[in-house]
Amino acid sequence: MRYFTPSNFKTILSCFTLPVTALLVLMLGATAAMAQTIDSAYTSIDLEKCQSVPPATFGDDSNDSAYWACLGYDNSLVLVSEGDLRMFVSYGDNAINEDSWHQTLPQFNNLNDTLEWRLKQVNGKWVPFATIVRYFTDPGDGGDKGEVLVVTKLEPGNTCHVAYIDAKLTPNANEIARQFADQFAEDFNCAVDEIHNVPS
């Protein structure tokens, strides 16, 4: 496991342009060789340390939303927004045009402050292909609060949610989330594939 912490924060708005269930497939072929070529890194989603972005930047004049630009793995852009008591996370230089920019959970929710990046070796370099983040959910009616691990595929033009793992109902939820990231994220087609739910 490698832990990644940016040495300092920089304003990164210039990094992007604004064109304004249990389906648990345990991969038996996860050999020692694969284990050496897939790893995790961790960054923080500390909104107090992220760059607050004026809603008007996104053409939002509702005054009901908030936006932050944060640094992710290898100083990549992590764009976070909040609206209607729900959080949204998207990634990359074109984050606002990815499907993930519009995806959240139906319940009121907020984010854990740790973001896990699944990495693979490409030409000797660690390259992220998926993220895992924990959402804390609240039904808003006094019912039980929940925790859901959201697996997101990372690919320019094809970044979206891949799987929802109910962390309270799934033993070893973190490991299951990693398995779904490793087995499904790279081939996931955001336009047509259905998001996996565990338990189903």
**What is the model's pLDDT at position 50?**
97
9 located within any domain: no
66 located within any domain: yes
Q: Which residue has the tokens 């604004």?
A: 18
| CA 109 and chain centroid, separation | 14
Residues 136/146, Cβ–Cβ less than 8 Å: yes
62 located within any domain: yes
Can you list the residues of the chain whose pLDDT is less than 70? 1-36
1 located within any domain: no
pTM of the model: 0.82
Q: Which residue has the tokens 């109902």?
A: 169
146 located within any domain: yes
**What is the model's pLDDT at position 36?**
62
Total domain count, the chain: 1
Per residue in 81-119, pLDDT tens?
999 999 999 999 999 999 999 999 999 999 999 999 999
* Residues facing residue 11 across a β-bridge: none
Per residue in 35-46, pLDDT tens?
468 999 999 999
Residues 95/16, Cβ–Cβ less than 8 Å: yes
81 located within any domain: yes
**What is the model's pLDDT at position 24?**
37
25 located within any domain: no
Residues spanned by the domain of 57: 31-198
170 located within any domain: yes
